Each structure stands twice: as structure tokens, then as C-alpha cells.
Structure 1
Amino acid sequence: MIFKTRDPLGLEELRRVSQLGDDWTRQTARWAQRKIAALMAFKGGGVKDVTVGDCLELLDIPGKSLAWRYTGNSLLYSWLHALGCFPPDAPTSLRGIRLQSGQLTPEQLVDRFPLGNRPVRDLIVEYLKERQPGIDYNTLEKLSRTLALNFWREVERIKPGIESLRLDTDVAAAWKDRIRTKSSRVRMPDGSSVEVSSPRMGARHEMLLVRAFYLDIAQWAAHDPSRWGPWASPCPITDSEVNLSKEASHRKARMHQRTRERLPVLPTLVSSVAAHRKSAEKLLATAQETTPGSTFRFDGDDFLVPPGDRIDTRVVELQTGSRRNLTHEEHCAFWTWAIVEILRHTGIRNEELLELSHHSITQYRLPTTSELVPLLQIAPSKTDEERMLLVTPELADVLSAVVSRVRGPSGAVPVIPCYDHLEKVWNSPMPLLLQRKFGGENRPLTRQTISNMLDAALERAGIVDVTGEPIKYRPHDFRRMFVTEAVMNGLPPHIAQVICGHKNINTTMGYKAIYPAEAIEAHRAFIARRRALRPGEEYRTPTPEEWDEFLGHFEKRKLSIGTCGRAFGTPCIHEHACIRCSMLRPDPGQRNRLQEIHDNLIDRISEAEREGWLGEVEGLRVSLAAAEDKLIQLDRVVSSRAGSVDLGLPSFAQVAGRDSTAIGPDAASGKGE
């Protein structure tokens, strides 16, 4: 009534900006309309006279019902903002006022943790200001927490009144012991809670940041002594204490184990979320076709559609008496399916997933065939590098379903702001793909929402590990599985590196979990190829004749001037002209015999040249050259033995030449005689 008597034009403009049409009378819209009327009644004026402060004051009125405190608040703020009632710099949504907007200064970051020593507090602030231009805000916030809370505050607890960065040995050791463990409270079965200590996984990384703090100050002191020189002190953390190689190996092993557990059951999760989506759609459609106040049966369960005009479709499950919001269930089922499909087909990060927009879907025309190729543009995130992904037919179906779902009445994807929880800033409004209606306004999906949807999907699918414990999926697990499947199926690693946006190919290969089955199959293939090179009849038990022939080969290897080293079953390549053979191992004890052969060859060459046997001269000269080479080998062995030093240790010949009283295999156990 107050709209018609005081501001009928404002009412019409609200209808226009709300874009509800016939839905104006629904519950959320009625509460928003009622609250705007209350503001007009209490504050006076028309619709456009309502301010941001009036909206916040309305939320703080005590003694009201839950519906008054929560229902329609976001919707009324969105209407008034779209109507132009608020200044241009006002947040676009009510969540923009309640969430922290903007970043904290280095002073504010450090003052979150009260420090006793003011000069050290100022030093940490100056250090953060010096580092701030080269790092992002999330890294700056973690660095401030490490230096102020985990380092200096703990040092002050160990040694109250300390005023210098120069730590005594006992103080440094006590701080390292504290940083290597963390305390947490665990609830016991009887309901009580106890405090337990456990190793801190990131202890080395924390000490690495403190070590960098000391070394940076020492280096800066050489360039600006008046500012940093008084604080330059020896670093209490050695290089070996911050060696991350072992920690990196353990982290890589944990990542590979997660991938090995989750990749085999990924098809089960995919089929489960797809089936749940179809079931939720059919259940919602059946409920919407049922007359209010009537019952219907679906999948063996009976449901009652209560009478009433609501935006959401709600039913009562007669078997259990529970009330279910089928619209919300269908929304969750659809977005769970979309999230799983997008993550497994792209391998993008969680931050990149949340920032996908309608502008990210683009196309490229091949210059050779003029074919249009759909591409997905990934906005810069962790590595500040933009990249393009090829859209497969399966991914195109998912993106098409998402775009069709989020389109507004005008056919365009609504443009909404998004809060960056890492940088603590509001991004400019974009047509985000992962958005849904909540409280009468379009909101982007959050990290916690995605995590809750994945947990619910895994619980429905009943996926457990080998110990029977439920398996948890996180968005980054899909990234590791994407790389593992791509490389194992033949994608070159350097192409996978570009797709994932890694600066180092070792990072990409670290994501690839090598399965034991891969090594087993490769080894079996090697054995099969090796066996194919040898006759099949050789893979059997040798006969007595073959065994005697094998032993006889070694008996025939003994020669007058040494030993023949050719392998069993190979022919003599020099037709028993052993002096020429490279496989002959001359015996130093037979050097005189070899010298006689050498001298005899010289005499025979002279005789052949005198008699004109030129054909035999060539063969004799080859044998002479081989004999001279064998003599040189023997002289080299003798000279090396003469230059050796006797350490008093028994040689192999001495050990092998000893007599043993042990006879047979029972000698070692004392049974032999």
C-alpha cells in the first residue's frame, strides 16, 4: 500500500529492474518488497531515497524473526543498486559489504599478532614493504604470519624481553623444536578433547622463510648500512636444516599415491554423477507435473507435493517424513556433474575453474583447411600466463549445457562480480560460467561449495580405498590424473607442459604417477623380444650329452701360451690360429714360449723372402704383428704388478689355494667330515 500512496513510479521501476514479471509475488520477492516498504516508512521518502546505510541498519534490528533477518536481503540490495539508488563506488552486492574488500597493509598484517618489541615489529614491516612489489598478496600474507607469529612471537615466549635478532644457541634450538611440531585438539570418543602434538609438514619451509629474512637483511646492509646494518646478524638456521630435497621426494610420493588410488575409480565417479544428474532431473520434472496436494511415486518412493506458491519445488518423502528441496538438489547434481567433467577434461586449477567466463569460449580457424577449432581460454592465475586449451566434443557438450543453464531471460550470461579469496579483492564483473541463483541474485560458486559437492558425490558413489576408508577428491587431484592419463596415452611431455601452464617440464613429469603395471608390462615385453631372438627349443632342460659338451668347451680353452676367452657355442674366427686372435689371454708364465714363436716367425719370414714365397710372407707378417702385441700386453701386466704395494692382504690365488676339510653342502652346518 505504501508504494501506491507514496511512490507508485518507484514500484514500477522496481518491477522493471527485478525482471521477475509474474514471479513478483513469490516468497523472496515479497520479503524484499516488504523490507523496502519498511525502510520508506521509517526513513521517509521514496524508493530512490534508500541508502546503503539504511540497508545495513535494517539488518541489525534486534528481536526479529529469522525470515525477517535473512530472507530477501540480497535481493532488495541488488534491486536498489540496479535502480541507481547507491553511489557508483558502492559494492554491487550485499556480500561485497560483509566480506573483506581490499588488502591489508604490511602494518595491519603484522599487527594481527601483538609483538612485545616495537623495533623488531617495525623491522618486519619494513622487510614486508621491501618484498611486497615482487610477490603476490597471498604470499605476502603467509610471509607476515611466518615472521610475526611463527618466528618472533615464539622467540619472545622463549626469551621474554629479547631485543636483537642475534639468537643464542639454546634459544634457536628451542624455537626449532617448537616449529617442527604443532598442537591440535582431538575429540575423544567420550566427548572430551585433548591436546596432541604432531610433526609440522611445512616446518622446513617455515625455517626457509626465516633464513631468507636473515640473509636478505645481511645483503641489504651492504648497500644501505644506515637502514639495515644495525639488524644484520648471523643466521641461526643452517643450509642443511632447510634442505627440501627429502621433503620434495616425500611430497611427490604422496601425490603419486593419491593419483594411483583415485585414477582407477575415476570412471565410477563419472558414471555416478551422471546418473545422479539424470535422476534429479527426472524427479524434479515429475514433481513439477504433479498437482499441489497430490502424491506421486518415483523409483520406489512416495512423495507428497504440498500446496502453496514457491519458487523452489519442495516435496515430502512419505517413507521418512523428511522435506526435500528438489530444485536445490537438481542444481547441486548438475553443477557436480559439470565440475567433474570440466576438471577431468581440462586439468585446470581450482582458481582457473572459478574464473571461467563466457568470454573464455572462443574459436580458431586453421590456416590450412579453414576449419573452425573451438578453444577454451584460461585466464592468468598462478604463473600469470595465459594459455589456450582445445575443446574436445565431450567438453563442448558440458560447456554448452552450462551456458544454456546460466543464461538470463535476455539470452545473455549475467555479469556478476567475483571475490578473489587469495588476493582479497573484488574482480570486475564478468559473465562467469560457474554461477547460480541464490537468495534472488546470481552468485559465483565458491571453493567451499565445490569441495562440498565433491564430498557429497563421493559419499553417494560409495568409493573407498583398500582399507575401507572413504576417498576424498580435491580439484587438484583431477589435474594430476589429467597429466598422468595424457602422458601414458602418448601425449609428449612438452605438449602436456604447455597445456598445464607449467614453466618447468620437471613439474609436469612430477605430476605423472608411474604405475607398477606400466613397468611390469614393459619388462614382459622386453623378455618376449629377447626370447624371440633365440630358438624356442633352447628353453628346456639340457640333456647329459649337451651338458658334457658344455663342460668340454672349458677344458678345450687351455692353450700352450694362455687361455682362449671365446664364449660357448661360438666358432673360432681365426681357425685355431690363436696367435692372431684377440680373444687369446696370454699367460705371463709362458712369455719365453711366446718369445720363441716371435723369433721363429722372423726366421720364417726371412726364409720366405729368400725363397720367393711372397704369398706366405703376408700371412707370416700378420702373425708377427699379433705376437708383438701379445708381448707388449705381457710386459704391461708385469710392470703394473711390479709397481703395486703389498698391503699384507691375502690374494685370491692364496685364498683359493687353501685346503678345506668341508665336504658337501652339509659342511657349513658342521655335519661334514
Structure 2
Amino acid sequence: MLALICADVIRMHPAWLTVRRSRHFMLSMSAGRDPDGFARLEAAVPPDQWTSRSGGTARVVICAVLATKGGTIQDCTVGDLMEIRSAASKHWNHATRLAYAWLRAAGQFPPDAPASLSRLETFTGQVSIGDLVDRYQLRCRPVRDVIVDYLTERQPSMDYNSLQGLSRVLASNFWADLERHHPGISSLALAPEVADAWKTRLATRTVRRRQPNGTATEASVPRKDAPTLMMSVRAFYLDLAQWALEEPARWGQHAVRCPFPPVSSKKRQKRQKSWSHQRTRERLPHLPALVRAADQHLKDARARLGAVEAAPAGAEFIVLDETYRKARTSNWAADPHRTTTAYLQPDGRRIDLKAAENRAFWAWATIEVLRHTGIRIEEMLELSHHSILQYRLPTTGEVVPLLQITPSKTDEERVLLVTPELADVLSAIVCRIRGAGGVVPLVVSYDAAERVWNPPMPLLFQWQVNGEDHVLSVNTIRKALNEVIEAAQLTDAAGELLDYQPHDFRRMFITDAIMNGLPPHIAQVIAGHDDINTTMHYNAVYPSAAIAAHQAFIARRRSLRPGEEYRVPTSEEWEAFLGHFERRKLSLGTCGRSFGSECVHEHACVRCAMLRVDPHERPRLEEIRVNLIARITEAEREGWLGEVDGLSVSLAAAEDKLHQLDAEVARRSTVVHLGLPSFSQIATRSTQPSQTAWAREGAER
């Protein structure tokens, strides 16, 4: 049968070849069917990939294509490999991707062929707006059409990810929820009770939590993004109303009153800012320890990898006080001693030490790049070999290395200065990923926001998986960071293990830069923010920093003022200062003149504007007014005109003081009483001084 298959007399199904393949199948097919084609392919593939275990399986896949479809390697198509991949299920998944990469690099496929078979079923492309809305199976066709038209109108000003999120809000969170709870609803003009019920449902969401016994329970938790969703729906109504004024024929029939009032997200923003600052304050002091832990973790991983590569297959070896037994490989095409898989003794846990060293290196590189640049995680994964630039200063001729950041969230390109520490990290990355001939391999990446495949580029964050070059994913970066954090065992004040997210390094970079004197507007440019308030939102101000800044301000102010103003007062000056406040106490109230000033009215307090009358002394002030009126009458009867003028001034001042008291009483009467208890109402007990105490106090006076 093997001879008949090699001679293309019979052709077998791919699923049959997966489980019933002869160990001589690949040698027979390559030698008997297309020896020249396999020779040309071997010359184009790196030798280490061709002789590796993954390379051997990839050659088996190519032989299976020839056995099932006939012909030679020149006759292989993309559909052939896709059919082999689907029929072989998980057995040849990685090998099919590697075989596809070989054939595509050799020019076997047309230029418009997919750049890679990696996650071709998972990473779909963009779909139409109608398909985005139809995912939620809306029953009301007119509302479905207006949502599609609205999203079509908004599409030019939005990226695909934002468009997909807005379609989910309007179609799923809003209208599908209304159709589920109010069957038969067919108009955007919502009744007040319907709108209130939807807002109540939007405030919470249902989550499923698995219990220790294996069962799952449902719980209602507050929805953190409820204000954001509400603003999107409100903007939908307001946009329709505005567009109806501009294009009545198209949008006029959909313009209705918005049933949702304005939403304030200040409280949510304050909570988010407080949460962000707290994370930064907890993690920034431990950043040097995390850097040291990442460096040590990488050194330990390299030590384990060197030990397993030096050990023969099946032998035990000890490294870092740990005992391992190197695994054996049954692949005939590979050297049995080339495997890097070992079993940790005594539990026998299987570990790929080469993959562990890979993760340790990229965790170290991620921490170093993020903490020295403050860029976003998606910007870091888009760094390429072309991003490293050189700039020669026109004055001194010095060559300055620069790092070009491609447009990301704000569609703004920027250039960062490369520090010596960052230069060492970038050099280590380039040296690691260089392939044959010292060239950085070209890899394809998937833009999750726009749902498109990017053209092949020499990306820096790439590695080989089963012989094929891949860009690192965000999940891989997070997994590598978690391994370093677990090895570091960093805890907060409560003793909980600290977790570092990639975006935490961006907050720490901005906070540390501003704390060390970098102007906020320069930090805004480096971070790539459109608004400086966003940059200040990232800046976590420490209480100690606020106190130090205040002390520095006081020191600068004292340096500008005469030194004798800050001398220690003498006892006589202190007594005079305290005596001034004692002399401010008057029969009608208190005097408001400042310390060191003399009385300009010669103690005619009723006429003085600095007199602050006590409301309880109103009867005394009324007695003074009555006395002044009587004295003015007497002076007029006796003809003392000079006395009349002076007393009239005092009478006018007394009446002015009474008007001020009346205005104060009227103001206090308009204040709403909150029901707060007075001290006499909340006191646990009250005491009355005895006659002896009154007599003693009078004697002391």
C-alpha cells in the first residue's frame, strides 16, 4: 500500500493518514514522489528547523498533501493545507502552520494568500454594520434599521473596535433588553416608566460564581460602566434630534424626546482616579525590587536551560538546588539529546526549560521597556527594528538614539529619547531575535482593534513557536509577568501579593518623572496624551511630597523676607500680644482692630466700625440709644448746639448697629434648620457652680 500511495496509484483520506501512517512514509514519499522539490525546500529552510521535531512533522504534512491530492510540491495550494489541518484536528496543527510558512516563504502561494495560518479561525476580519447589529436578533425591524443607519453615519469618525462596542451598547444593552422585558415594543419614544425600569436594570449585572463544591450561583453586582452606557444611549437620541433638523427627510421620523436626563460621571472618575493613584503608591516603591527579581529570574532560567542542554537524555542533573531528569525523545529525525524538556524531582512535573527561559527573558524585556518609556502595551508590541533611529546633533555631532512610537490610541506618532539602560535592553532583544545572516525575521501581527492583519514587519517582540516566527501576544506577556511577580513575592501593607499590570508601569513612569522635576507638559508629550489633565490624572501625588513642597515654599518665602521677622518674641512682647486680646473685650461685644494698632476713635466704641456687637447685648445698646435721644432733647432745650451735633453722630452709629443686628437675626431666621442637636441636648450631664465657687471667682476678679 505504501508503494501504491507513493506511485499515486491510490489516494488516501487525510484522517486515515493521521492515525495509520507508516514510519517509512515520509522517506518514501520524498524520495519517490518529488525528490527535487524536497531538495529545493530543504535549501530554503534553516537547517535547525528542517532537522527539528516540528520540522519533521511539517515534512510529513507536506507528504500527506501529496498523498491525498497527488502531484508534486509545486502543485500544493492553500486549500490543500487547510483541508489537511481540518481533517487532522489537533495532531498536525502546529506542523501545518510551519509547513505553510515554508511554502509561502518559498514563493509557492500567490501574494494575496494569508500571511500565516496562525489563529486563522479565531481572528476574523471586519464584518458589516448590519452583521454587527444582527448578532443580537432584534425583532423590531424599523428600530434595527435606524440603529444600522446611525452606526453607518458614525463609522467614518470611529475605529472598528469602538464601532463594535457602540453597536453592542445600542443593540444589546439597550434595545434587546427592552424587547426582552417589554414584548411588542416598536418605538424609540419610551414611556417614563419603561425608561426608569431600563435605567434600574442597567445599574446592575448578573455574574456567575463557582462555589467550592462545584456548583455555580448567580449574583447581582453593580455595573461600573453604567454611566458610560447611559451617555452612549443619550447621545444616540440627541444625535437623531440634531440630524433631524439638518436632514428632515431622512432622520425626522426617528427624532423623539430623549427619555434620559444628563448623566454625571464625576463620582466615577474620582473613584477611578483614587484607585489608580492608590495602585501607583503601592507599587512604585517596590519597582526596584521587581526589576531585581526579573533579572534574577532570567539568570536562574538560563542556568536551568544550560544544565538541561549539557545533560544527556534520561540523566538526572542538579541545578539551583533542584533535581531534574532530562526527558527522552522518540522522534527519529531529531537528536535525542536536543530536547530541553525535564521532569522536576520528586513530583515528576514536566517542564520545558527552553520555553521557561523564553518567558523569563520577555518578562524582563517587558518590564525594562515599559518602565523606561511609559508606552502602552499595544505600542510596545508594535515596536519594530525600524523604530530604532539615530539622530546626529547639529551642534556637537553627537549621535543620539531615538525610539519611534507608531500611532496607537490617539493616532499620534512620537519619538522618545533612548537612555543607556534602554539601549542595552533593545540591543539584547535584537541580538536574541536575529535569524540566519543577522537579519530580524519578518512576522505578521493581528490588529485586534481594526480586525486586520498587518503586513510582515521586523517586530522586536517576537519568538519562535514550533519553528515558526510569531509575535508575542498580550496574554503571553501577562503570563510571563505573573511568573516574575510570583517569584518576587512582593506584598503590600496588608500582606497581599502585589499584581503588576502592563499599564501600571505607564502610571509609575509618569509619576516618577514629574516627581523628579519633569514639567507636566513635557510628560504629556512623552506619554502621547491629547489633554494635560489626562497626564495629571496618571500622576499620583504622595502626601509626603505635598508636605515637602509646602515646606520648600515656606523656606523660599522666609528667604525673601527680613530675618528679624522670624525671631523668637520676648516675654514682654508676648504679654503685650496676649493683653491686646484681653483689651478687645467690651461691654457691647468685641473690638476688631488688629494687634499693634491704636484706637482711632479715642474709645468712642459706639461710633467705631470695628465694634462687633454681641446679639445678647442688644438691650444695652437700646438703652444707649434711649439715653442719647434724651440727651439730644436736653441739649436742644438748653441751646447746646455743639453737643447736639456730637450726640447725633453717636445716635446714628447706635441705630446703624441695631440695624446690623436685625439683619443678622433675619439672615439666621432664613437658614434651614437641619435638626442637628445642640451641645446642651447631647451632653450627658450638666452641673451648676456652688455659691462658694461664685464667691471665689468674684474674689479672684
Q: Normalized against structure 2, the TM-score is what?
A: 0.79
Query: Partners of 1:365 and 1:591 in 2: how far apart?
Result: 79
Deviation (angstroms), 1:101: 3.9
Deviation (angstroms), 1:290: 2.8
Aligned to 1:219: 242
Indicate which of 517, 531, 540 corresponds to 1:504.
531
Deviation (angstroms), 1:8: 1.4
Aligned to 1:55: 81
Preserved contact between residue 417 and residue 430 of structure 1 (Cα < 8 Å) = yes
The residue type paired with residue 121 of structure 1 is R
Deviation (angstroms), 1:502: 0.7
3-state SS of paired residue (1:400): helix
3-state SS of paired residue (1:270): helix
Change (3 A) 1:636 1:190: farther
Preserved contact between residue 558 and residue 564 of structure 1 (Cα < 8 Å) = no
Aligned to 1:32: 58
Aligned to 1:457: 484
* Percent identity between the two aligned chains: 48
Indicate which of 246, 256, 267 corresponds to 2:267.
246
Change (3 A) 1:524 1:60: same
Mapping of 1:149-164 within 5 angstroms?
149-164=172-187
Mapping of 1:114-129 within 5 angstroms?
114-129=137-152
Note if 1:80 corresponds to 2:106: no
Query: Partners of 1:667 and 1:94 in 2: how far apart?
Result: 81
Deviation (angstroms), 1:317: 2.3
Post-superposition CA distance 1:507-557 (Å, at most 9, x none): 111100011221233345567789995799849xx97x7765555556788
Aligned to 1:282: 303
Number of residue pairs matched? 600
Deviation (angstroms), 1:100: 3.2
Note if 1:147 corresponds to 2:164: no
Aligned to 2:689: 672
Query: Partners of 1:454 and 1:384 in 2: how far apart?
Result: 28
Change (3 A) 1:527 1:291: same
Change (3 A) 1:634 1:497: farther
Post-superposition CA distance 1:591-611 (Å, at most 9, x none): 79xxxxxxxxxxxxxxxxxxx
3-state SS of paired residue (1:375): strand
Post-superposition CA distance 1:581-634 (Å, at most 9, x none): xx7356556879xxxxxxxxxxxxxxxxxxxxxxxxxxxxxxxxxxxxx99x99
Mapping of 1:432-581 within 5 angstroms?
432-524=459-551, 538=568, 549-552=576-579, 565=593, 567=595
Deviation (angstroms), 1:247: 1.5
Query: Partners of 1:106 and 1:80 in 2: how far apart?
Result: 36
Change (3 A) 1:646 1:344: same
3-state SS of paired residue (1:95): coil
Query: Partners of 1:306 and 1:590 in 2: how far apart?
Result: 104
Post-superposition CA distance 1:46-103 (Å, at most 9, x none): 01211111111112226x7x5x333412111111112222222110111263233421
Preserved contact between residue 273 and residue 337 of structure 1 (Cα < 8 Å) = yes
Deviation (angstroms), 1:651: 12
Change (3 A) 1:551 1:334: closer
Deviation (angstroms), 1:294: 3.3
Mapping of 1:519-668 within 5 angstroms?
519-524=546-551, 538=568, 549-552=576-579, 565=593, 567=595, 584=600, 587-588=603-604, 641=657, 646=662, 649=665
Indicate which of 400, 404, 409 corresponds to 1:373.
400
Aligned to 2:353: 326
Query: Partners of 1:498 and 1:15 in 2: how far apart?
Result: 50
Mapping of 1:201-220 within 5 angstroms?
201-220=224-243
Query: Partners of 2:125 and 2:591 in 1: how far apart?
Result: 86
Preserved contact between residue 447 and residue 454 of structure 2 (Cα < 8 Å) = yes
Deviation (angstroms), 1:204: 0.6
Preserved contact between residue 208 and residue 216 of structure 2 (Cα < 8 Å) = yes
The residue type paired with residue 646 of structure 1 is D
Query: Partners of 2:309 and 2:160 in 1: how far apart?
Result: 48
The residue type paired with residue 212 of structure 2 is P
Query: Partners of 2:667 and 2:247 in 1: how far apart?
Result: 68
Change (3 A) 1:158 1:304: closer
Change (3 A) 1:529 1:357: closer
Note if 1:298 corresponds to 2:319: yes
Note if 1:10 corresponds to 2:33: no
- Over aligned residues, Cα RMSD in angstroms? 3.2
Aligned to 2:123: 100
Q: Normalized against structure 1, the TM-score is what?
A: 0.83
Deviation (angstroms), 1:464: 2.5
The residue type paired with residue 165 of structure 1 is L
Query: Partners of 1:199 and 1:225 in 2: how far apart?
Result: 40
Preserved contact between residue 179 and residue 185 of structure 2 (Cα < 8 Å) = yes
Preserved contact between residue 284 and residue 330 of structure 1 (Cα < 8 Å) = yes
3-state SS of paired residue (1:456): helix
Aligned to 2:11: none
The residue type paired with residue 90 of structure 1 is A
Aligned to 1:607: none
Post-superposition CA distance 1:400-443 (Å, at most 9, x none): 00000001112111111110111111111110000000121100
- For structure 1, the 5+ residue unaligned runs are 573-577, 593-629, 653-665
Deviation (angstroms), 1:7: 1.2
Query: Partners of 1:127 and 1:494 in 2: how far apart?
Result: 37
Change (3 A) 1:638 1:97: same
Query: Partners of 1:233 and 1:651 in 2: how far apart?
Result: 46
3-state SS of paired residue (2:438): coil
Deviation (angstroms), 1:672: 1.8
Preserved contact between residue 92 and residue 417 of structure 1 (Cα < 8 Å) = yes
The residue type paired with residue 382 of structure 1 is K
Preserved contact between residue 211 and residue 237 of structure 1 (Cα < 8 Å) = yes
Indicate which of 446, 454, 469 corresponds to 1:427.
454
Preserved contact between residue 402 and residue 415 of structure 2 (Cα < 8 Å) = yes
Query: Partners of 1:352 and 1:635 in 2: how far apart?
Result: 80
The residue type paired with residue 377 of structure 1 is Q
